[in-house]
């Protein structure tokens, strides 16, 4: 069969449509061809903004001799990990079970029925980095398939057991304070207290981890937990991982000082960082965080809008060179700003004559956020540099729309709108939610995963349902609009109908998923994004505190208990642990009488484990601890543990009752 990628919708697959490799799309046809030919499958998984995916493509997949080997001995399948995270999850788990470190491109070798037997990530065209060449790998595994099938079969059995074990729930007691304390302690032990983030390099934002630490500061009063988050955000916001001209943050820094980014920008990273910026600013009032939040939303609106939502990512490469769009020469900056402004700018951003990375300059702020006049002058200089940068050839943009990443952005925009007093951001979030509901919503209430060029390209996963429920609840809390709650519950009912495992937890894929091999996975580990299971636990906890309905508490407890037996592994599930805290300790602020100042104070609070119920007239939920309170009087009731405090009518009094961190 020829290369079949020309009709794909994924920008990543389309990048490979002209390769001499006879690429197939994932599906029954490709697996059937492998069975008919009795050859293994070479599965290559990546994404459009992945630098090393581009490198391997140029070195190997565009090479006619390498392609001939692949075409002769394998059925080669390309998968976009962002479009099919369910497929990626299966084979990344298998790679880890083989003792290999994960990453992309993910290169896996499978039997014709999709069972993995060997794998790796990037392979060079010649032996280097302690790795064999890709050609050597292709030849060796093709030979093994011919003469050593028994050994391959043994590996398949081992991998099948490993995948089944990873997919299994581990029931036990729901995680309590002792577990949260232990995980917090381990995470704080791993913090780089000099540079921010976790120890070592590369440096990732690790937003789910640091959001858990921020919430722990409110549960326990542990100042170190709050300090770790503050240090992370300051280091990232000053470092080269932040785009000081265009706004937004790159996916990670390759060094331990946050200077050298891997230049790709992902929607999910920026959504989660925006949420953290808002939470920490709400407590510290650090103007640096307000500036970075506004710059990020400016980037989202200027560069990432796609129809009524946001595109998935921007590439690291332009003109085939990583970072070329973003870096500078000192003389180039001087030619744009002039000598006097360059001298001023250079007092705040290092401008070494020979650069700070590969003879080029990555902009990095070296001075603290300063007085308004200084910041205005620096902003004017950055704007001039941005204007010049805009004339360069831009990196490619992956313009597919992913429901889960957009929903994370909606929730972050909703919180940031209140904290930074930007009502237009809430309107932007609401418009995005409506777009996803209208274009990716299914008749049965489910939300599809991926959409591009007017059509859905991937079915919905648990992460999509959970993120959209969370987004709907965020809009409900911000606006008090009952329709947002109804829409969130509509998606919740569909998720329970199609993803529940019957034992309190959820599968990653739906009950009618027909092209996912192996046992259905229950994915509870947080990566760069929260797990769908962790978000579902948070949704149940939030609904319990908003409504007082004990059935939501029971469902949250069952979900938490489904993984309580994996105590030693719960440190990899900080979102689930944060949900356990929310269920037991959350504060619900009930604002009555339509008092905008009280609502604003509650919505802009820094505690993640807090919910806000705006009740302006009409009855409160019948099971809520504030159910009998009058709703036509301007007041706020702080409810916790099934009991509501006396009403308060001033912002100062309300803040005095909230959970301290």
pLDDT tens digits along 151-182: 999 999 988 888 888 878 889 999 999 999 99
Q: Which of 368, 399, 430 is the last residue of a domain?
A: 399
- Which residue, chain included where needed, has tokens 């890709």? 134
Q: What is the pLDDT of residue 616?
A: 79
Give yes or no: residues 87 and 146 share one domain.
yes
| Residues 74, 460: Cα–Cα separation, whole Å | 30
Q: Which of 382, 399, 416 is the last residue of a domain?
A: 399
pLDDT band at 661 (very low <50, low <70, confident <90, very high): low
With contact defined as beta carbons under 8 Å apart, do 569 and 174 qualify?
Answer: no
Question: What's the whole-number mean pLDDT along residues 305-334?
Answer: 96
pLDDT at 11 over 70: yes
pLDDT at 269 over 90: yes
Cβ neighbours around 172 below 10 Å, total: 15
Residue 506 in any domain: the answer is no
pLDDT at 395 over 90: yes
Q: What is the pLDDT of residue 176?
A: 96
Give yes or no: residues 143 and 29 share one domain.
yes
**Segment holding 415, helix H or strand E:** helix 403-419
Residue 591 in any domain: the answer is yes
- Which residue, chain included where needed, has tokens 């599906």? 27
Give yes or no: residues 325 and 279 share one domain.
yes
pLDDT at 478 over 90: yes
Give yes or no: residues 346 and 227 share one domain.
yes
| Residues 657, 661: Cα–Cα separation, whole Å | 12
Closest CA relative to residue 110, chosen from 120, 119, 100: 119
Give yes or no: residues 146 and 29 share one domain.
yes
| Residues 64, 61: Cα–Cα separation, whole Å | 8
**Segment holding 458, helix H or strand E:** strand 455-458
Residue 288 in any domain: the answer is yes
Residue 599 in any domain: the answer is yes
Question: How far does the chain reach from its first CA to its final CA, in angstroms?
Answer: 61
Closest CA relative to residue 328, chosen from 240, 448, 235: 240
CATH number of the domain that 133 lies in? Answer: 3.40.30.10
Give yes or no: residues 355 and 254 share one domain.
yes
Residue 511: partners with Cβ closer than 8 Å, 6 or more residues away? 498, 499
Closest CA relative to residue 603, chosen from 426, 349, 392: 426
Give yes or no: residues 83 and 221 share one domain.
no
List the single range of 5-14, 120-129, 228-237 with lowest mean pLDDT: 120-129
- Which residue, chain included where needed, has tokens 């599930």? 573
Helix segments in 507-648, DSSP class H = 532-547, 550-561, 574-585, 596-603
The CA angle 436-441-444, to the nearest 5 degrees, is 160
Mean pLDDT taken over the chain: 95
With contact defined as beta carbons under 8 Å apart, do 426 and 481 qualify?
Answer: no
Q: What is the pLDDT of residue 163?
A: 84
pLDDT at 129 over 80: no
Residue 457 in any domain: the answer is no
| Residues 644, 647: Cα–Cα separation, whole Å | 8
Give yes or no: residues 373 and 294 share one domain.
yes
- Which residue, chain included where needed, has tokens 């919905």? 460
Give yes or no: residues 163 and 205 share one domain.
no
Helix, strand, coil percentages for the chain (3-state, nearest 5): 50, 15, 35
pLDDT at 1 over 80: no
pLDDT 10s digits, 485-494:
999 999 999 9
| Residues 391, 376: Cα–Cα separation, whole Å | 23
Question: What's the whole-number mean pLDDT along residues 272-294?
Answer: 98
Our separate counts of H helices and E strands in the chain read 24, 21
Count CA within 13 A, CB hemisphere, residue 230: 15
Q: How many domains does the chain have?
A: 3
**Segment holding 155, helix H or strand E:** helix 149-167
Residue 55 in any domain: the answer is yes
Q: What is the pLDDT of residue 48?
A: 93
Closest CA relative to residue 462, chosen from 504, 495, 428: 495
pLDDT band at 101 (very low <50, low <70, confident <90, very high): confident
Q: What is the pLDDT of residue 249?
A: 98
pLDDT band at 389 (very low <50, low <70, confident <90, very high): very high
Residue 180 in any domain: the answer is no
pLDDT 10s digits, 592-617:
999 999 999 999 999 999 999 999 77
Give yes or no: residues 283 and 374 share one domain.
yes
Closest CA relative to residue 10, chosen from 108, 87, 109, 119: 87
Question: What's the whole-number mean pLDDT along residues 339-345?
Answer: 97
Q: Which of 123, 142, 167 is the last residue of a domain?
A: 167
Residue 188 in any domain: the answer is no
Note down the domain range covering 210: 201-399
With contact defined as beta carbons under 8 Å apart, do 296 and 274 qualify?
Answer: yes
Give yes or no: residues 229 and 372 share one domain.
yes
Name the phi and psi angles at 119, rounded to 5: -170, 175
pLDDT at 321 over 70: yes
Q: What is the pLDDT of residue 567?
A: 85
With contact defined as beta carbons under 8 Å apart, do 362 and 327 qualify?
Answer: yes
Give yes or no: residues 136 and 23 share one domain.
yes
DSSP state of 60: I
pLDDT band at 563 (very low <50, low <70, confident <90, very high): very high
């Amino acid at each position: 069969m020829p290369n079949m990628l020309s009709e794909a919708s994924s920008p990543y697959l389309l990048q490979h449509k002209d390769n001499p490799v006879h690429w197939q799309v994932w599906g029954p046809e490709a697996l059937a061809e492998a069975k008919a030919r009795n050859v293994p499958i070479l599965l290559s998984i990546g994404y459009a903004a992945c630098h090393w995916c581009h490198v391997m493509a140029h070195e190997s997949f565009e090479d006619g001799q390498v392609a001939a080997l692949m075409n002769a001995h394998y059925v080669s399948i390309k998968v976009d990990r962002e479009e099919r995270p369910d497929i990626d999850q299966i084979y990344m788990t298998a790679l880890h079970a083989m003792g290999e470190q994960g990453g992309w491109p993910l290169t896996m070798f499978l039997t014709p029925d999709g069972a993995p037997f060997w794998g790796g990530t990037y392979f060079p065209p010649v032996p280097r980095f302690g790795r064999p060449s890709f050609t050597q790998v292709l030849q060796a595994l093709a030979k093994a398939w011919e003469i050593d099938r028994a050994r391959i079969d043994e590996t398949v059995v081992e991998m099948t057991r490993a995948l089944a074990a990873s997919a299994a729930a581990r029931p036990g007691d729901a995680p309590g304070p002792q577990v949260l304390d232990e995980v917090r302690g381990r995470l704080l032990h791993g913090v780089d207290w000099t540079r921010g983030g976790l120890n070592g390099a590369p440096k990732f934002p690790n937003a789910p981890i640091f959001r858990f630490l921020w919430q722990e500061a409110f549960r326990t009063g542990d100042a170190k937990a709050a300090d770790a988050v503050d240090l992370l955000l300051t280091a990232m916001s000053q470092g080269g991982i932040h785009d000081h001209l265009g706004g937004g943050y790159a996916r990670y820094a390759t060094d331990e000082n946050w200077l050298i980014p891997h230049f790709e920008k992902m929607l999910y990273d920026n959504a989660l960082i925006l949420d953290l910026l808002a939470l920490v600013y709400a407590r510290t009032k650090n103007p640096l965080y307000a500036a970075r939040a506004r710059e990020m939303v400016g980037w989202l609106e200027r560069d990432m809008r796609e129809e009524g939502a946001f595109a998935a990512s921007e590439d690291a490469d332009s003109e085939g060179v990583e970072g070329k769009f973003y870096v500078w020469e000192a003389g180039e900056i001087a030619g744009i700003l002039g000598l006097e402004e360059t001298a001023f700018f250079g007092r705040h951003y290092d401008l070494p004559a020979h650069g700070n990375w590969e003879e080029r300059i990555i902009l990095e702020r070296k001075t603290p956020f300063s007085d308004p006049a200084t910041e205005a002058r620096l902003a004017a200089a950055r704007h001039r540099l941005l204007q010049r940068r805009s004339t360069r050839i831009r990196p490619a943009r992956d313009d597919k729309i992913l429901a889960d990443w957009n929903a994370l952005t909606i929730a972050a925009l909703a919180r940031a709108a209140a904290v930074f007093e930007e009502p237009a951001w809430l309107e932007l979030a609401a418009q995005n939610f409506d777009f996803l509901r209208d274009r990716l919503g299914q008749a049965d209430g489910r939300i599809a995963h991926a959409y591009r060029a007017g059509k859905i390209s991937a079915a919905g996963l648990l992460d999509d349902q959970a993120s959209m429920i969370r987004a709907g609840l965020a809009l409900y809390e911000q606006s008090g609009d009952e329709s947002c709650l109804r829409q969130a519950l509509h998606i919740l009912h569909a998720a329970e109908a199609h993803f529940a495992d019957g034992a309190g937890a959820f599968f990653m894929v739906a009950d009618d998923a027909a092209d996912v091999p192996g046992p259905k996975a229950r994915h509870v580990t947080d990566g760069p994004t929260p797990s769908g299971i962790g978000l579902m636990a948070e949704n149940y906890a939030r609904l319990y505190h908003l409504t007082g309905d004990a059935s939501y508490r029971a469902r949250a407890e069952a979900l938490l208990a489904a993984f309580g037996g994996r105590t030693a592994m719960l440190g990899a599930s900080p979102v689930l642990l944060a949900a356990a805290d929310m269920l037991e300790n959350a504060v619900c602020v009930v604002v009555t009488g339509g008092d905008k100042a009280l609502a604003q104070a509650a919505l802009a609070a820094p505690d993640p484990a807090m919910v806000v119920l705006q009740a302006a007239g009409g009855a409160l939920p019948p099971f809520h601890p504030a159910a009998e309170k009058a709703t036509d009087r301007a007041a706020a009731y702080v409810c916790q543990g099934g009991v509501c405090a006396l009403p308060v009518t001033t912002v100062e009094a309300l803040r005095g009752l909230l959970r301290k961190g």
